[in-house]
């Protein structure tokens, strides 16, 4: 292992906080929030564009 840890995806990172003897709820909750916040930010900016694209594609001419 070098200077930096191996990159993990969100699922593996959150699973890392579940120990052998139990769960550490504070870091687990913080990791879940960090994983969800970027998705909410992108959806808040692109939500109207996504909905308009879905409704435009659903209308048959």
* Residue range 17-44, pLDDT digits in tens: 776 666 778 878 888 888 889 889 998 8
pTM: 0.55
At residue 58, the pLDDT reads 74
In the prediction, which pLDDT does 27 show? Answer: 77
Using alpha carbons only, what angle is made at residue 36 by residues 31 and 24, rounded to the nearest 5 degrees?
A: 20
User: What is the rounded CA–CA span in Å between residue 34 and residue 24?
Assistant: 16
R_g of the chain computed on alpha carbons: 18
SS (H, E, C) the chain: CCCCCCCCCHHHHHHHCECCCCECHHHHHHHHHHHHHHHHHHHHHHHHHHHHHHHHHHCCC
User: Average pLDDT, stretch 1-23?
Assistant: 67
Q: Is pLDDT at 1 greater than 50 in this prediction?
A: no
């Amino acid at each position: 292992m070098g200077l930096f840890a191996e990159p993990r995806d969100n699922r593996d990172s959150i699973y890392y906080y579940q120990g052998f003897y139990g769960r550490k709820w504070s870091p687990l909750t913080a990791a879940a929030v960090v994983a969800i916040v970027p998705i909410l930010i992108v959806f808040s900016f692109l939500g109207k564009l996504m909905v308009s694209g879905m409704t435009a594609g659903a209308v048959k001419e």
